[in-house]
Amino acid sequence: MDHLQSIRLFVKVADLGSFARAADAMDISKAIATRHIADLEGQLGTRLLNRTTRKLSLTEPGEVYLERVRPILQELEDAEQVIMARNHEPVGTLRIAAPVVFGLYNLALALRTYTQRYPKVVPDLTLVDRPVDLVDERFDLAIVITRRMSSTSIVTRRLTTGCMTVCAAPVYIEQYGAPTHPAQLAEHQCLSLPDEYSGTELAFVNAQGTVHVRPSKVIVANNTAILRQFALLGMGVAVLPSYLVDVDIRGGNLVRLMTDHQLPRFEIKVAYPSRRHLSAKVRTFIDHLIAHFADTSNLLPCAGATQNCESTSSRLQAA
């Protein structure tokens, strides 16, 4: 029988002085209550209750056992109440993983407005440019920027979408020229994320179809911020998120290339281990992120990046 239930029943019998009343209080039959106590005494190898036709009383071992288990049951009940409260009220440490640049630009405001609403939640943010194992590394959730998720055990919800921009600094273009067709990238120094982030080839789309390109000369870095710096220094042609370089393009520090071709859009998602038994802090933060990024002006450093994606897409469709 359920050992914990037997202990609870023993305490109830001791408090009420009756098998019948204890059984009624725990919504079981008197016969089942009697079996619970008999099993408990059998496991302990001693009698806990003296039974007579007139009354029940505790044996000496029963008194010692009651004194020890009563506070344990109270601690257990308190722990259950704490956990149940956490499922209804957002509270505790919220462990979040996010890409470095996206986190720097885009999560501070979202976290500020969230913690203003839920002050009992303490964010613990890790910025890292690598895939994370949510379970092994004990993250509650992660922000991922991807075209696909490889793990079927991870649940994702879309926050927003973005597009990639091919760009280079004026000093690079002056020295090496500007590619006008994706195939020409084979002749240029390219700046790229590792293959596990961006894939081994680029698929450009225009009105005539899709062009697949595998750049041969590539400087690789696992951080888009340093790739942006490489591009600004004239070190090559970069393929970077539009929201990251749009300010540089508008300021003339970078030049948008091959505007009649478009790379597939990527999705910015929130990933978490399971749909079941989500704590209140995780559930409310996911909902907060979805509402936050529904307003595309919150996608920094430049809201204009989204409009540029849309205008390019519309232009290609009209061609």
Lowest mean pLDDT among 39-48, 214-223, 256-265: 214-223
CATH of the domain at 224: 3.40.190.10
What secondary structure letter does DSSP report for 161?
A: E
CA–CA separation, 50 vs 62, rounded Å?
9
Establish if 184 belongs to a structural domain. Answer: yes
Please, are residues 17 and 50 in contact by the beta-carbon 8 Å criterion? no
pLDDT tens digits, 266-293: 889 999 987 677 888 999 999 999 999 9
Establish if 305 belongs to a structural domain. Answer: no
CATH of the domain at 55: 1.10.10.10
Establish if 307 belongs to a structural domain. Answer: no
Helix (H) or strand (E) holding 189: strand 189-192
Estimate to the nearest angstrom the gap between the alpha carbon of 280 and the chain centroid.
14
Establish if 181 belongs to a structural domain. Answer: yes
Q: What is the pLDDT of residue 199?
A: 53
Q: Which of 206, 227, 256 is the last residue of a domain?
A: 256
Number of domains making up the chain? 3
Q: Which of 55, 82, 109 is the last residue of a domain?
A: 82
> In this structure, are 207 and 249 located in the same domain?
yes
Could you check whether the bond before residue 301 is cis, i.e. omega within 30 degrees of 0?
yes
Establish if 315 belongs to a structural domain. Answer: no
Label the pairing between strands 209-213 and 202-206: antiparallel
Q: What is the pLDDT of residue 110?
A: 95
Q: Which domain holds residue 131?
A: 92-161+266-298
Q: What is the pLDDT of residue 312?
A: 42
> In this structure, are 214 and 72 located in the same domain?
no
Establish if 199 belongs to a structural domain. Answer: yes
Please, are residues 199 and 164 in contact by the beta-carbon 8 Å criterion? no
Largest interatomic CA distance in the chain: 105
> In this structure, are 50 and 101 located in the same domain?
no
CA–CA separation, 194 vs 199, rounded Å?
8
Establish if 306 belongs to a structural domain. Answer: no
Would the pLDDT of 148 be above 80? Answer: no
Q: Which of 82, 111, 134 is the last residue of a domain?
A: 82
> In this structure, are 19 and 34 located in the same domain?
yes
